[in-house]
A and B are shown apart, each in its own frame.
Chain A
């Protein structure tokens, strides 16, 4: 399989995923904005596909902005109509998919040039190494984001289960406190990150 075909397949799979994301968002919208959402979403999918194929960061960003806007619109509509609880699993899926798609942008923009730019020698090695990175990254991101989705849903259902036994746990403030503690924990962990303890020795030249 040549480089162009591989990249086209990568573009098509990525576009399918963004289409699924937009479908998940638009499906939750009421009928009167569904059509507009569908049209805007299609523009986003086209921009995404083109941006992926060309490694064009600007188009990919535009597509992400449109998708996020649709997501926000859908979320606001659910808050307004108090249907957020019913639609939560699908809405969360859309949110996680948006985050996943964001992660594929740097992959496309930084790796595309390795497959299509003119390189003097060993370009096959670079291209092979690049595909390996893309495969590894996509699979690890897939596992990570699926895990995020499942864990969030599990947390919510565990919360509801606990609530049925201890109604005090239904207090929103408890969840908010938990969330703040979680964020603080992340920041604290960052301070002790292994990245901070990186050390290196001077370049050895041949």
Chain B
């Protein structure tokens, strides 16, 4: 609580009148202080603020959005104090660098007992990330604004702008280890499926439609087709965004590209019934346990929304490899999304491959750098190092290079089978 500029100005004027009255021996001038004094007195004694019964509710609609969709924030203020509330200003803090683009986030409010006021403002053009709206600050002063006070209600709400995802169509995965539930991954075992696996002699009770009539005619005995059973598998997506130099090496936003790819792959893999997990490695580290379903997709996208490229605090082999080995059974499928700029990434991939994991590595294509100036030369050296890492990865894993300007669906279609 402090005097406002206005309060100080009024006090100064009052003392000026007193000073002039003394200088000119004119007591009438001193009487000009009386109205000012009365204003202070009345303003001070008539102001009573008790905000304990003031209820403020905030609703965000929606609380999750894909980039570009606006968020509507609705504030409802209810006066349950049992007395009039006059001239308070309620301001909802909008997360930096966003700004309200429709409506107001700061509104002067005067409410009678039990009265409510509701208004909505809109936040749009939020880029990917997790945003916290709030706290709500309440500014109030005495009746004439000679003193001012501000309190904050610390309850925050948050919304997440998810990375955009693309429809990439059915993924034709191969895996050495499959789960018990039926899915779309060939299991190398005989069972219910669509892919031909082998022939065997007819047994009593076999379905007639499974008899291979050509083979039966050739051998002179009834022969039945066997199919390869298809199951779900466990897939772990690892997004590597540890390098800061990526921004200058790639002509596009590498982080967003990696996120779109990770989000699209998770969405499709979960849609195909697989168990999917996520490991983020960068300035922000995150781990999402393997699970099925739509909720898992939301969880994965929420974590992807928080991703930040940058140097990591822990070495990758500790943060990723040790966790994976303890949580993922051998022969599981691991999808790396990495620019392969770090030798550490290549060695982690090599180490995981040695332990029996099936590894697919998605890496963005890099344009050839021309020129001989120092910057171009540095980029060429980095590019050569990256190429060396890629060759190393290619020897132990499936390496898939992706271009950012071509749709994921068409690029994945070219890969007939991955894994």
Q: Please classify the interface of chain A as helix (H, G, I), strand (E, B), loop, or mixed, using the class held by over half of its residues.
A: helix
B76 & A206 in contact (Cβ 8 Å cutoff): yes
Question: Which among A119, A126, A140 is the interface contact of B117 at CB below 8 angstroms?
Answer: A126
**Contact pattern, A 98-110, Cβ under 8 Å of B = 1, otherwise 0:** 0100110010001
A176 & B104 in contact (Cβ 8 Å cutoff): no
Q: How large is the interface on A (under 10, 10 to 19, 20 to 34, 35 or more residues)?
A: 35 or more
Minimum Cβ distance to chain B for residue A198 (Å) = 5
A114 & B104 in contact (Cβ 8 Å cutoff): yes
Q: Which residues of B contact A75 (CB under 8 A)?
A: 29
Interface size on B, residues (CB 8 A): 75
Find the B residue at minimum CB distance from A181.
B37
Binding site for B on A (CB under 8 A): 75, 79, 84-85, 88, 92, 95-96, 99, 102-103, 106, 110-111, 113-114, 117-123, 125-126, 129-130, 132-133, 136-137, 140, 144-145, 147-149, 151-152, 155-156, 172, 175-176, 179-180, 182-183, 185-186, 189-190, 193-196, 198-206
A148 & B104 in contact (Cβ 8 Å cutoff): no
B120 & A84 in contact (Cβ 8 Å cutoff): no
Excluding A119-B102, A132-B110, A152-B38, 9 further A-B contacts by CB distance (< 8 Å) are: A75-B29, A84-B26, A111-B108, A120-B72, A120-B121, A175-B30, A185-B41, A204-B56, A205-B155
Flag whether B52 is at the interface (Cβ < 8 A): yes
**Contact pattern, B 16-34, Cβ under 8 Å of A = 1, otherwise 0:** 0010111011111111111
Question: Which among B1, B27, B52, B103 is the interface contact of A120 at CB below 8 angstroms?
Answer: B103
A122 & B51 in contact (Cβ 8 Å cutoff): no
B119 & A119 in contact (Cβ 8 Å cutoff): yes
Minimum Cβ distance to chain B for residue A109 (Å) = 11
B147 & A190 in contact (Cβ 8 Å cutoff): yes
A198 & B108 in contact (Cβ 8 Å cutoff): no
Find the A residue at minimum CB distance from B100.
A120
Q: Which residues of A contact B151 (CB under 8 A)?
A: 198, 200
Flag whether B45 is at the interface (Cβ < 8 A): yes
Q: Which residues of A contact B104 (CB under 8 A)?
A: 113-114, 117, 119
Flag whether B11 is at the interface (Cβ < 8 A): yes
Given contacts A126-B117, A190-B147, is CB(A202)–CB(B155) below 8 Å? yes
Q: Which residues of B contact A203 (CB under 8 A)?
A: 55-56, 135-136, 153-155
